[in-house]
Amino acid sequence: MQNIISGLNQAHEHVPGKKRKLIGDRGDFFLNRMQGETGVNISACYQCERCTNACPVSHFMDIKPHQAIRYVQLGWREDLLKSSTIWICLSCEMCTTYCPNEVDVAEIIHHLRNMAVHSSITPKEKSLAVFHQTFLEVLRKSGRINELRLMNAYYLKPDILHERIKNNILKEDLLLGMALLRKGRLKLFTPKFRAIKEIKKAYSQTRGEIV
């Protein structure tokens, strides 16, 4: 019980000035939708925080993994889609592995990320969001990732090149790329994956990840 109360209080620390809304106030619509679409029993979470303790990047997230699950239970969809959490998550699944109730936290965050891509909400971590989108585009086109093609496509996205020059990251990227090329870790060309048709079909069967 202490954990549940603590989880609720911590969740609210991230929403300054927001009045607590009980689950009943918002209805269970969002919770039911998420459970239906992911097949994850989100209601089973009792806020033990093991997922957050296991997460290697929770320190950088504005809504910690256990809080994200609580937000879903409360129906706080917009806060989740606006969060940095959905873009910072590495999909490493440590949270899922350590959950004693088999709540697939990684899948929930992944699902929220895809929801955010199709919402009109401006992503909090814009460059990460654009990278995510570019990665999926390249993967859909060739069925596998060629790092040079990926980075080229990424730089051509609006504002990305300018931002990387401004933040002095482009030079680091180039130096890293050259070092990897010298070590034979970067390939100039990668043939298309043979099962490209199946991959494109799988994409079209998703909820429209690619725009």
* Contact residues: ligand SF4, CB under 6 A: 45-51, 54-55, 57-58, 65-66, 69, 89-95, 99-101, 103, 105-106, 109
Q: Which is nearer to ligand SF4, 2 or 205 (CB)?
A: 2
Task: Give pairs for 202-205: CB < 8 Å, separation 24+.
Answer: 203/136, 203/140
Q: Which is nearer to ligand SF4, 46 or 155 (CB)?
A: 46
CB of 63 to ligand SF4, least distance (A): 10
CB of 110 to ligand SF4, least distance (A): 8
CB of 87 to ligand SF4, least distance (A): 10
Q: Which is nearer to ligand SF4, 32 or 204 (CB)?
A: 32
CB of 165 to ligand SF4, least distance (A): 29
Q: Which is nearer to ligand SF4, 54 or 138 (CB)?
A: 54
